[in-house]
Structure 1
Amino acid sequence: MEVDYSNIKVIGFDADDTLWVNETYFREAEERFAELLENYETKNKIDQELFKIEMKNLELYGYGIKGFVLSMVECALDLSNTKISQETISKILHLGKEMIAKPVELLDGVEEVLQKLADKYRLIVLTKGDLLDQERKLKRSGLSKYFHHVEVLSDKKEENYSNLLEHLNIAHEEFLMIGNSLKSDVLPILNIGAKAVHVPFHTTWAHELVSEEEIVNDHLKLNRITDILKYLKL
């Protein structure tokens, strides 16, 4: 579709699964968690219960690995009727530490895009998750030099975006957001009068999925992040 980006001055990038791999590690951890609890429930039931607990805990823990680990521990206690062994709890905690220690794997074309846009646009990172973990990943990524500002938000709703753009003195009509989540990176951005580009990742957390009725057509969907270079002034 044709979208005019001629007035864009600031470009925001989501981090997880837009700049680097993230969701894949959560899915791997869920698989291993289900294996640890296979004596108590089926994998499908474990997955369902873990997701329910994660959703219940979002307001308490927010997004990120630490909240995920706490939800796994709670789920293990619930499904085992508090009979889960200390050894298994220790293994769950180790899963979280392994996730935090994962190397940062940049997605294809990310650095090429940032290099080409950095001289023309003001680039910022807008992401959810644990502050310490996101700061650590950004440092490991080697991408910090391209960004004027990094913001780790508690959530990505219209109010969060509007408040941040106002704080950074960015006009909504001059802002473009690039991300992998329709729910977090596209729909709220369009609703505040800014522009958004959707670059899907092959794996999406269930919480980030949206119904067909919620999807609007006034945004650009790209197969890979490098395709954005065709639409922007360089």
Structure 2
Amino acid sequence: MPRRLQTIGFDADDTLWHNERFFALTQERFAELLADHAPPDHLAERQIAAERRNIGQYGFGVKGFTLSMIETAIEVTEGRVPATVIGALLEAGREMLAHPIELLPHAREAVEAVAGTYRVLLITKGDLLHQERKLAQSGLGDLFDGVEIVSDKRPDTYARIFGACPGGAGAAMMVGNSMKSDVRPAIEAGGWGVFVPHDLAWDLEHAEPPEHPRYRALPDLGALPALVAGLE
């Protein structure tokens, strides 16, 4: 008989490797550069508002984040932001793009544990070149049967990806640190949604846990192999 579960998708940023910590460090630097013009809390509010406005044009990732910082700097200084500050923000963005990958605990072991038995996919959103570079640096690339770098993660995204896999979405699971992008839309598409929390979370990724029989939450990726075995 066919297995109950046949495909497992993994998110990348803050599920398999660190990501949000570098955004947080850059935001601290941003607050320092604009300290004479806006208090940190107000600056953070203006920054997240700019990111929310710009996602449709810039997408997700470091480049859109950097452009939104520059836009916010222009706004809070009423157009008087020094060129040296703009240059510092651009340099901060370049440093984020070049930062080496740091795998999260249990990331490799979790992917290795299910690879070979299940079809394993990496499903991530963000800048294509940056995500490809991070995957190459992670050393995990050979473990995946497929890689999907998408502009956003919605139910139709998962329906398309899992629909092309054996058993369809009903035999698929998505593992990630975002309720909004990884868990809820995968469940809405008909699959399993597994939440693995991270200490840091982007404000725009917040969503409440679903009340659904296909929802699971784990303390970390180390608990994934036992969960998968239990579903069989």
Query: Which category of TM-score, normalised to the shorter sequence, fits these structures?
Result: over 0.9
Distance 1:36 1:73 in 2: 11
Distance 1:168 1:58 in 2: 29
The answer for unaligned runs of 5 or more in structure 1 is 1-5
For residue 96 of structure 2, what is the aligned residue in structure 1?
99
1:165 CA drift (Å): 2.4
Distance 2:31 2:149 in 1: 30
Residue 228 (1) aligns with residue 229 (2) = no
Distance 1:130 1:170 in 2: 30
Distance 2:40 2:67 in 1: 19
Q: Is the 8 A contact 2:15 2:176 kept in 1?
A: yes
The worse-fitting range, judged by mean Cα deviation, of 193-202 and 216-225 is 216-225
Q: Decide which of 59, 66, 70 is 1:69's aligned counterpart.
A: 66
Please give the residue correspondences for 1:1-234 in structure 2 after superposition, counting only pairs within 5 Å: 7-168=4-165, 171-211=168-208, 215-218=210-213, 219-233=215-229
Distance 1:204 1:44 in 2: 17
The RMSD of aligned alpha carbons is: 1.4
The answer for unaligned runs of 5 or more in structure 2 is none
- The count of aligned residue pairs is 227
Secondary structure at the aligned position of 2:87 is classed as helix
Q: Is the 8 A contact 2:6 2:166 kept in 1?
A: no
**TM-score, length of structure 2 as denominator length:** 0.94
**TM-score, length of structure 1 as denominator length:** 0.93
Secondary structure at the aligned position of 2:175 is classed as strand
Identical positions, percent: 37
